[in-house]
Structure 1
């Protein structure tokens, strides 16, 4: 199963491979050169397909859980000053996605979208300390009856050149459903109220819609 954001790329990639196979069969007589070009074209298509994969996941909805919004590695757990929306101290959890991770963004909790804003910006490497404030990014705040307002931020990395965000202010969203997509390596930051019990540790592998990153009331 592939994400809808990859439709154009997969189509172009398939056409490119078909053209390469046709041209090499008709115009290149040296077998090893022909095979090398054809294999390279097929590998490119495989890379495109794996990048836009969208595995189906059964999400157990729980108002007392915040789920990881993306696949990747937990690279930050710390108290920070969130300057865009809350303008106070929050607990930040950051998940870094490499190019080989699934890049679908999922809603980590159910609730009402209170804020959604796109920011153009730089393309620093996603793990850079200033990436959260200076890179191209989107900021989304969801109000949840258990946790209050939770902010997550999609951040473009050095390779990412397009962030897709489906959240619009006033929307009712459901935990685990599709919230967007980030093309190529990137990062997502989640900002929680101070004192929120955390269920992950640094360098832990997170699975979007599955890994519980925070709990409350249990």
Structure 2
């Protein structure tokens, strides 16, 4: 199914399959599996079995399922799997706004809507581009490793800012934030790369958060507490600002 065009009128073929494991995680799974095999060889079953289950858990963490991304220039898709824990008006990070000397304009330093998506260790941790366009900035900031679900994590934790710009100048910024367990942000792209909506742009190891900064005049089409799927869930429609209410049940 990967690379195949599918639509809302029945075109395309699809079916369930085991998700692949991203190469970034295969080495970790193999290391733990090798330790499990060594423990089993020496009949250390009390160690071998937990290590075997840990190896399966590591491979599951780095799973990389195929996603079907809607191709519509009006849509902003979720860059991460997880739960929406914050929706609030804030100014974008300074690194996405300030003149960095490259000649590429940044976001306007004025309040916009930020959507925070928290990823637990059970979520897929491959992050994807919310729109099609050119990567204008990738800025890595070292920092702390406090709980990624806290508001201060956006300003204090280790993080990486990414700015994507469409051909018409519309920009969407997002920030990958490390958490208590996460200890490395792995980028797949660099400044100047052209990406498609839903394309894989990086991952964060072992639990984290992604903040998305919507363009001015755009409000979310998702609710607090809602679950998102990277590359598939529509976060917003550019230029639209609807009030949507929901109920937990």
With the length of structure 2 as denominator, give the TM-score of the two structures.
Answer: 0.80
Structure 1 pair 54–134 and aligned structure 2 pair: CA distance change class (3 A): same
Comparing both structures, which one devotes a greater share of its residues to helix?
A: 1
Residue of structure 2 aligned with 1:17, choices 36, 47, 51: 36
C-alpha contact 1:112 1:173 (8 A) present in aligned 2: yes
CA deviation after TM superposition for structure 1 residue 216, in Å: 2.7
Higher relative contact order (CA 8 A, sep 6+): 1
Structure 1 pair 146–75 and aligned structure 2 pair: CA distance change class (3 A): farther
Residue 31 of structure 1 is matched in structure 2 by none
Give the total of aligned pairs.
Answer: 209
1:51 is aligned to 2:61: yes
In 1, the alpha carbon distance for the partners of 2:206 and 2:129 equals 19
Superposition map of 1:193-212 within 5 A: 193-212=215-234
Residue of structure 2 aligned with 1:123, choices 120, 145, 162: 145
- RMSD, aligned CA: 1.6
CA deviation after TM superposition for structure 1 residue 197, in Å: 3.4
Structure 1 pair 190–53 and aligned structure 2 pair: CA distance change class (3 A): same
**Hey, which bits of structure 1, 4+ residues long, moved more than 3 A?**
none
Residue 156 of structure 2 is matched in structure 1 by 134
Unmatched runs of 5 consecutive residues or more in structure 2:
1-19, 98-108, 241-249
Residue 192 of structure 2 is matched in structure 1 by 170
Residue 92 of structure 2 is matched in structure 1 by 82
Q: Deviations over 1:139-186 (max 9, x none)?
A: 010012467111000000011001011221111111111101100110
Please identify, of 55-64 and 119-128, the stretch whose mean Cα deviation from structure 2 is larger: 55-64
Residue of structure 2 aligned with 1:149, choices 168, 171, 184: 171
Tell me, what secondary structure is at the counterpart of 1:82?
A: coil
C-alpha contact 1:146 1:216 (8 A) present in aligned 2: no
